[in-house]
Structures are given as C-alpha cells and as structure tokens.
Amino acid sequence: MSLTEADYKKYVRWGTSTWTFEGWKNQIYFKTYKNKKDFNHASLGEYCAYPLFGIIGMDLWYYRAPSEKDLEEYAPYIPADYPIGIKVFSDLTVFRWPQLSAYGAKAGCLNTNFLNAELFINEFLPPFEKVFKTQPLIFIFELMNILQNDLPGDVHEFSGILDGFLAKLPPNHRYAVEVRNKKFIDPIYFNVLNKYGVAHCYNQWAYQHSIGTQLKIGGLTKNFVVVRALQPPGWGHSQSENFFKPFDRLKRIQPDIREDILQLIRQVLENQVYAYIIINNRLEGNAPGTIQELDEMVHKYIL
C-alpha cells in the first residue's frame, strides 16, 4: 500500500502535554508577553499556529473542574476547528487517593466517585461544551496506577466496571482511556473500548508496557487512537522532570520509543485511523524537538 503525504496530514496530528514552557522561547514562542499570566494564555495563539502541531494537550484541569470563566481565558487563542485533548480531573480517575498530605482527609481512602459518569456529565463536561462549541474535544481518562491490593479481581471485573461507565457517556464527543496497570492491557479491555468507539491511549509511562507491546496485544482501537509519550521506562516523574529541565533542548534520545511510535503511525496510515500523538518534555527533554525529528523520520522511513 502506498502511503502519501496527504494520508499523513489527514490522519496524524502531533501535539504536546501543555504548552507554557519558557524553554520554548525562540523555538515556538517569539512574541513578547506582559507577564506570566499573559504568557500562559496568549502563547496558545503561537502554539496553535506552529505548523507541526495539530492538537493541544490540556492537562491543567486534572486537579479540579474548570469554570466557564477559566476556559474563556484560553478560548480566544484556539482556532475554531483545533482539537483539544483534555485530561479529565482526578475525582473520576483515581481509585484510591494517594497517601499524601495534599489530599487532606481523603488521603489513603478509596475514591467513591471512581468512574462516576454522572459526575463527569454534570460537573466536568458542561463548561467545555459551553465555551469550546466548535473545537473537537477528546476527553482522556488517565486511570492512575491501582495498587495491587486494590485491584479489581481480574481484567474481566475491571472491564465490566469500565463498560458500565462508557455506556453512560454522551456520544457526541471523543473519549480515550489510559490505563497504568499492565494487567489491564488485554484483548478483553480493548473489546470494551471498541464496543463504544473509545480510543485506547497508548501511553509511554514509567511502569507500563511499551507502546509497541500495547499495540501488539490490543491492536489499534477501531475509530481513532491517542498516544501520550510521557517519560522513559523506569523513570519517575520527579526524576525525569529534574533531569530534563528547562526543556529547551533534546538531552537523551529514546530510539526504542521512537520506533514504537513510527510502527504505530505506519499501522494508523495503513488502516486509515486517526491518531492524536501527544509528546511530553519529560520523554527526551524538548517535546517540539522530538516531534520535529519524528516528523522527519516519518518522511524518511514511511512515506
């Protein structure tokens, strides 16, 4: 099958996990901003105009649901047809609250709102629907790693819980599920996603299977896929954050991860499935640089 530039532009969109990085000045950002708040909002205009970007990863509402006013501060800078990948707040996606003082009285407790569809529909979703009326919205449910003692009995039980949740979601948006437990990467889980046209989020995370292994086990979800390439295998959040700051240049290339992403893109183009590929600074040190080099590799090895 001959894969073309037109196929690539149609089916593959690159983006990054958030955008407010001083290290990207003179790479992505060239304007002068009045202050930090102005930069955090208005720089979205430059981000969305960057030729290689086609989706914005909006992670900043993971700890609370935004208000309409919150979102209205960003909306003027995002084109009407520009996709937004929204990480859904942790009130829905944490099974047990981490044993950390930041969580107050609920630290260490089971989350009674885990995969509560009514909470998503009534609290998290409405501001996005009211403010981003024309932008395609992709809601990403990042299910934090569930501790061994808390795990549902097996992948059948987990998939049953997920099935009940997905069945209640409004069908007019796109959804993706990101699981952090290896045992849930199973054809049974992928069958549930495909039943509802929901994407698997192929995540490159410290302790999950590689993207290539996830692809081998489950294949492509049928309507579209999401990729979040977050950090190298075995690296914790703080370790990668401290090593790669200030995110102004590539510091450690990950050839195996790049090969996995290229393999996924080849399958996406062959099967004409849409792919939203989000790269984090913590993967190699500079997300725009990673995307630039992956784009060059697509043109060299695939097209």
pLDDT of 298 > 90? The answer is yes
Give pLDDT, residue 118.
98
Distance CA 189, CA 207 (A): 18
Structural domain containing residue 25: 5-301
What would the pLDDT profile of 92-101 be if each residue is shown by its tens digit?
A: 999 999 888 8
Domain CATH number, residue 230: 3.20.20.410
What would the pLDDT profile of 175-189 be if each residue is shown by its tens digit?
A: 999 999 999 999 999
Number of domains the chain is built from: 1
What would the pLDDT profile of 188-213 be if each residue is shown by its tens digit?
A: 999 999 999 999 999 999 999 999 99
Taking residues 243-263, what's their average pLDDT? 98
The DSSP call for residue 210 is: P
CA dihedral 15, 146, 122, 126 (to 10 degrees): -10
Confidence bin at 150 (pLDDT 50/70/90): confident
What would the pLDDT profile of 258-287 be if each residue is shown by its tens digit?
A: 999 999 999 999 999 999 999 999 999 999
223 close to 274: Cβ distance less than 8 angstroms? yes
**Is the bond preceding 246 in cis, omega lying within 30 degrees of 0?**
yes
Give pLDDT, residue 240.
96
